[in-house]
Amino acid sequence: MVGLPGAGKTTRARQLAVAHRALRFTPDEWMIALFGDPEAGGRRDVLEGRLITVALQAVRVGTNVVLDFGLWGRDERSALRWLAASVGAPCRVIYLPVAPDVQRARVAHRQVVAPHTTFPMADADLDAWRCQFQEPDAAELGGAAIPAPPSGSAGWAQWAAGRWPSLSAGERA
């Protein structure tokens, strides 16, 4: 799942999980349960690495998985597409765009009706995050060939191990 907060990722991910009998991994749920904080000093990256590791184990034994991560960066998406392919699993990038006014209304509504599922988000944060977000293009959404890893990186496996520290090469094997 790709999109900004309030885009509707978790809502869609729940639907996909039912429709495709899939495991759904929503890091916000884990971060709230474990630490009560969305980042917890970098622990989100560590958590996501473990969730990816479990996701790869699941798809290897034939279970569908929905990674409800947000995935703002193209390289993150490329790395995960590569990891899926490395274990022979088809992979879809699902992007939910959301206009700023709709996003603000949804985030505010969610904060009121389901504060235990989310974190306070200031309008200034939403604006800054939108600037950081790298929107997927048609090629990416259509499952086009995975681009080469960034220069200086030996490959997507190495890039992924740097991005998600708990994703070790040994455990992917």
Ligand X SMILES: Nc1ncnc2c1ncn2[C@@H]1O[C@H](COP(=O)(O)OP(=O)(O)O)[C@@H](O)[C@H]1O
Q: Which residues bind ligand X (CB under 6 A)?
A: 3, 5-11, 106, 109-110
Minimum CB–partner distance for residue 147 and ligand X (Å): 25
Q: Please tell me the distance from the alpha carbon of residue 135 to that of residue 34, in angstroms, as a whole number.
A: 30
- Residue 52 contacts residue 86 (beta carbons within 8 Å): no
The Cα 152–Cα 92 span in angstroms is 27
Q: Does 103 bind Mg ion (CB under 5 A)?
A: no
Partner from ligand X, Mg ion, none contacting 6, C-beta within 5 to 8 A by type: ligand X
Instruction: Please answer whether residues 120 and 27 qualify as being in contact, where contact means their C-beta atoms are separated by less than 8 angstroms.
Output: no
Cα separation, 15 vs 1, whole angstroms? 12
The answer to whether 78 contacts Mg ion (rule: CB under 5 A) is no
Q: Which stretch binds Mg ion (CB under 5 A): 1-9, 86-94, 97-105, 163-171?
A: 1-9
CA dist 137 to 52, 67, 94, 114, Å? 23, 19, 11, 32
Residue 99: CB minimum distance to ligand X, A: 12
Q: Which stretch binds Mg ion (CB under 5 A): 10-18, 42-50, 84-92, 154-162?
A: 10-18
Round to whole Å and give the CA distance between 108 and 100. Answer: 12
Q: Compute the least distance from the CB of residue 170 to ligand X, in Å.
A: 32
Minimum CB distance to ligand X, residue 164 (Å): 20
Report how far residue 6's alpha carbon sits from residue 111's, in angstroms, rounded to the nearest whole number. 10
The distance of closest approach from Cβ of residue 67 to Mg ion in the complex, given in angstroms and rounded to an integer, is 12
Contact of residue 109 among Mg ion, ligand X, none (CB under 5-8 Å per partner type): ligand X
**10 makes contact with Mg ion (CB under 5 A):** yes
Residues of this chain that bind Mg ion (CB under 5 A): 9-10
